[in-house]
Amino acid sequence: MEVFSLGICCMAKKVQSAPFQAILAFAKEDFARLQLASEVQYELNVVVFPEDVVLNEPVQQWPLCDALIAFYSAGFPLRKAIQYYELRRPASLCDLYMQLALLDRNKTYEILEGAQVPLPRRIVVMRSHPDGHLPPEQENLNLHQQGDGQKNGDEQPPCIATSTLGKVFEQNGDWISFGEEKMCKPFVEKPVDAENHDVIVYYRGGGARLLFRKKKNQCSQLDPERVYVRTDTSYVYEPFLQGDGSMDVKVYGVLCVDTPGPYLYAEMRHSPTSHCEVHRLPNGREKRVETRLSVSERAFSIRLLEAFGQFVCGFDLLRCNNGSETYVIDVNGWSFVKDNDEYYRQCALSLAKRLEHEIACRVRSWGDHSTKPQCAP
């Protein structure tokens, strides 16, 4: 029997997670079942790239595979994974170049705009080159606030002007402006670096709420003294949109090769902008309620999934004005629904069908030969 190998290249914590293990087990069963109906049968070999190999060995030493699931999470060497892909050219289920874009909120928003996905208005204040260094023309700029600008209420002059990349940034406590663009409070400040989850909501009249990655049961903290925005690095500013019921909608998409197209599952949770404590169930999981996407939400979600080209992709929506408007506010990349067997089943079946599809593409590309050419050493 022919062997088709699926490489899994990610941080160990992710592949060892309960959802991923469940999905892989179901996918193997589904693949074997689908193969029964095929003329030439393949056995699926899942090759998990050991984390120490991924982190420490050159890509020439990484395992070979026919299809690849590689995705970024904290600590993952994404550029190295791209080198591996360019060296071996397996069928890639998760576009690695798009994952680079997902590390930058502004690039992510530009891709969403290109896909005609509804977004909040934004002002993007870029302060440094992508490598984190100030460009030469900025070296002598008078950046009033260094660090994260905490407790800056009374210490700041009433109007702060800094110049960044040729445009002037100003703030007076009620508004910010950058070049010709102006935004009044309340607004949300997000680091352009998408891996930085220290988001701040600034309220009209002063005071702010600091949002961060859940720390045990805490997801945000009020800071009544904070008036001025941070000027230490690059930020995206968006008007604060009041989500219906103060809820976020978290969407989990899975690309599918057959009709009816991508599988989408969505659930609502209390927004961290509305409270400091995570609402949890007795089993410790965050309390969430499944929600149906509207026809238009489904349509732009499909465009989003196709634009980013990830087999699995999570993203966040805000529904406003009694559901009459919905905006995408964040794209998380690879993310699974947790504790949901129906989702695991759907995701596994989509994976098995995608692998069958990749085999068919390969076989077609070999012309009339039904056996696979030998891999280059």
Ligand X SMILES: O=P(O)(O)O[C@H]1[C@@H](OP(=O)(O)O)[C@H](OP(=O)(O)O)[C@@H](OP(=O)(O)OP(=O)(O)O)[C@H](OP(=O)(O)O)[C@H]1OP(=O)(O)O
Ligand Y SMILES: Nc1ncnc2c1ncn2[C@@H]1O[C@H](COP(=O)(O)OP(=O)(O)OP(=O)(O)O)[C@@H](O)[C@H]1O
Q: At a CB cut-off of 8 Å and minimum separation 6, what does 276 contact?
A: 218, 219, 220, 221, 222
From the CB of 339, what's the least distance to ligand X, in Å? Answer: 10
Contact 7, 68 (CB under 8 A): yes
- What is the C-alpha end-to-end distance of the chain, expressed in Å? 21
State the Cα–Cα distance between residues 312 and 307, nearest whole angstrom.
12
Confirm or reject binding of residue 197 to ligand Y (CB under 6 A). Answer: yes
Confirm or reject binding of residue 271 to ligand Y (CB under 6 A). Answer: yes
Measured from the CB atom, the residue of 243 and 314 that comes closer to ligand X is: 314
State the Cα–Cα distance between residues 122 and 349, nearest whole angstrom.
38
Measured from the CB atom, the residue of 6 and 304 that comes closer to ligand Y is: 304
> From the list ligand Y, ligand X, none, which binds 214 (C-beta under 5 to 8 Å, kind-based)?
ligand X
Site for ligand X in 194-223 (CB under 6 A): 213-214
Going through the chain in order, the beta strands assigned E by DSSP cover: 2-9, 42-48, 67-70, 91-92, 123-125, 160-164, 167-171, 175-178, 181-184, 187-191, 199-202, 208-215, 218-223, 235-239, 247-254, 263-270, 289-291, 312-320, 325-333
Task: List, in sequence order, the alpha helices (H) in the chain.
Answer: 12-15, 18-35, 51-56, 78-88, 96-102, 105-114, 295-308, 341-365
Kindly indicate which of the ranges 101-109, 130-138, 304-312, 335-343 contains the residues binding ligand X, using the contact rule CB under 6 A. Answer: 335-343
- Total chain residues near ligand Y (CB under 6 A): 19
Which backbone phi and psi does 296 adopt, to 5 degrees?
A: -70, -35
Q: Which three-class secondary structure state does DSSP give residue 156?
A: coil
Kindly indicate which of the ranges 40-48, 120-128, 138-146, 329-337 contains the residues binding ligand X, using the contact rule CB under 6 A. Answer: 329-337
CA 223 vs. chain centroid, Å, equals: 27
Measured from the CB atom, the residue of 312 and 318 that comes closer to ligand Y is: 318
**Using CB under 6 A, which of 7, 120, 191, 314 touches ligand X?**
314
> Residue 4 to residues 8, 283, 357, 359, 374: CA-CA distances in angstroms?
13, 39, 12, 8, 13
From the CB of 338, what's the least distance to ligand X, in Å? Answer: 6
Confirm or reject binding of residue 275 to ligand X (CB under 6 A). Answer: no
Kindly indicate which of the ranges 5-13, 57-65, 270-278, 299-307 contains the residues binding ligand Y, using the contact rule CB under 6 A. Answer: 270-278
**Using CB under 6 A, which of 128, 138, 156, 332 touches ligand X?**
332
Site for ligand Y in 301-340 (CB under 6 A): 316, 318, 329-330, 332
**Using CB under 6 A, which of 336, 344, 348, 350 touches ligand X?**
336
> From the list ligand Y, ligand X, none, which binds 330 (C-beta under 5 to 8 Å, kind-based)?
ligand Y
Confirm or reject binding of residue 335 to ligand X (CB under 6 A). Answer: yes
CA atoms within 13 A on the CB side of 133: 4
CB neighbourhood size of 82 (10 A): 17
Measured from the CB atom, the residue of 231 and 335 that comes closer to ligand X is: 335
Confirm or reject binding of residue 286 to ligand X (CB under 6 A). Answer: yes
Binding residues for ligand Y (CB under 6 A): 120, 188, 190, 197, 199, 211, 213, 238, 240-241, 248, 271-273, 316, 318, 329-330, 332
Binding residues for ligand X (CB under 6 A): 73-74, 213-214, 250, 286, 314, 332, 335-336, 338
